[in-house]
Amino acid sequence: MTDKKPFEFLEHVSDAFVAAYGNTLEEAFENAALAMFEVMTDTTTIQPKNRDMVKVEAEDKYSLLYTWLEQLLIKFETEGNLYSKFKIDKIEETPAGFSLTATILGELFNPEKHPSKTEIKGVTYHQMEIVEGKDGILIKVLFDI
């Protein structure tokens, strides 16, 4: 899957639907996060000036994906930070389910620098998929806009 682009937008009548790819689950989760911010702005305009750490836990991989993306969306809404670089240190199975630890890089939203595209109201479980195959990982996520 290394020759594929990190994500693509899929057709949907009323929401933002993305497919994210990766050779590992971590890479696919990173690319899903990048796709989410690309819905909101041009991620190439986001400089990796600020470093934040994120740790989330959930009972399964679907809940982990949802919680990961929701946590990033909350950081944008409460702190005003946009992100363009995501490095998931590890996704691991725990007695309670799964955990994810990541470093994220970005900067404060500046309307003169970061073009506004589409506001995301939330992450949804609707049509969510995580497909792990011999050629890599495919994730599909629908964002409520």
Residue at 2 is within a domain: no
Tens digits of residue pLDDT in 108-140 = 999 999 999 999 999 999 999 999 999 999 999
Reading the block at residue 33, the tokens are 């996060």
Tens digits of residue pLDDT in 37-92 = 999 999 999 999 999 999 999 999 999 999 999 999 999 999 999 999 999 999 99
Residue at 103 is within a domain: yes
Q: Which domain holds residue 67?
A: 15-114
CATH number of the CATH domain containing 60: 3.55.10.10
Distance CA 140, CA 60 (A): 16
Residue at 23 is within a domain: yes
Residue at 48 is within a domain: yes
In this structure, what DSSP letter does residue 88 have?
Answer: E
Residue at 4 is within a domain: no
Distance CA 142, CA 130 (A): 12
Residue at 80 is within a domain: yes
